Structure 1
Amino acid sequence: MLRSLLRNLLSGPVATQLRRFVIVGATTAGVQMALLWAFVDAGGLNYLVGATIAIEITIVLSYVLNNAWTFRATQNTGLHDYLAGLLKTNVVRGSAIPIQLGVLYGLVEFAAITYLIANAVAILISGLYRFVFDSLWTWG
């Protein structure tokens, strides 16, 4: 069963979506990291406050890119569907914020990892959660 799941992730029908989701995620993670640095180092905000603001900005950017490219076959079109999809992805990704912030906090405060590296790890950990729920609910 696990072998079948892994094979489908690499070459099955979900593989293309997963690869696109990862590309969009890597792009928006870069934007999120740059925003986080700007908010914390240039703006003087607490790293958790800066991360929360950066996450919300990249939630919207991720939705726009994923709707147009990753989930093109099932994309949300029309104003109502587009806004409903944006709301759904905000619920999915908003529910991932405690996961990401918890990992970020734990790595910074207890493992003494710098906040930017800790944030990158937190993005990776919460990424699978976001993919599963976005693909099933936002564009399902």
Structure 2
Amino acid sequence: MVRELLRQLVEGPLAVRLRRFVAVGTLAAGIQLVLLWLLVDRGGLNYIVAAFLAIETTIILQYVINNAWTFHADRKTNRWPYVYGLVKTNIVRGSAIPIQLLVLYVLVNFGALQYLVANALAIGATGIYRYVLDARWTWS
């Protein structure tokens, strides 16, 4: 599965879309980490609560960018299809939130990792899951 995913990054009909999805995800991961740091270190929130807020913010950001760029051939342009797509991506990506938060919690509390490093790893751990569901359901 990983080998096939890596091959699709450089060749095949899904290569451009997959590279764009990864680029948007990388940008969003960076923004999520900055938001997490701001909410925890500057805002004084618990890292799990802050992670939830940062994740939801980047879910919306990623939908906007992916709709306009990554899945432009299938993009939602009218109001209701756009809102419906946003709801669908929130369901898809929202279903990954408990997984990401669990990985974050385990890495911080049992792996003794710093919360930002743990969150970056948790983002990576849920990336394929989010791509497959978004590609097959949100923009289907």
TM, length-normalised to structure 1: 0.95
C-alpha separation in 2, matches of 1:74 and 1:84? 13
Matched, 1:87 2:90: no
3-state SS in 2 of match to 1:68 = helix
The Cα of 1:10 is off from its aligned counterpart by 2.9
Matched, 1:96 2:92: no
Matched, 1:134 2:134: yes
Deviation digits for residues 58-93 of structure 1 (CA, Å, limit 9, x no counterpart) = 100000000000000111110010000000000000
Matched, 1:23 2:33: no
Matched, 1:69 2:93: no
Partner of 2:119: 119
Partner of 1:53: 53
C-alpha separation in 1, matches of 2:38 and 2:2? 41
Deviation digits for residues 72-121 of structure 1 (CA, Å, limit 9, x no counterpart) = 01111100100000000000000000110011001000000000000000
CA shift in 2, pair 1:6/1:114, >3 Å? closer
Partner of 2:41: 41
32-41 or 2-11: which moved more? 2-11
The Cα of 1:4 is off from its aligned counterpart by 5.9
C-alpha separation in 1, matches of 2:136 and 2:56? 21
- Name the amino acid aligned to 1:30: G
C-alpha separation in 2, matches of 1:22 and 1:100? 17
C-alpha separation in 1, matches of 2:99 and 2:4? 28
Aligned-CA RMSD value: 1.6
- Name the amino acid aligned to 2:18: L
The Cα of 1:7 is off from its aligned counterpart by 3.3
Give the unaligned 5+ runs of structure 1: none
- Name the amino acid aligned to 2:112: A
- Name the amino acid aligned to 2:46: N
CA shift in 2, pair 1:30/1:8, >3 Å? closer
Give the unaligned 5+ runs of structure 2: none
89-98 or 10-19: which moved more? 10-19
C-alpha separation in 1, matches of 2:2 and 2:130? 20
C-alpha separation in 2, matches of 1:85 and 1:101? 24
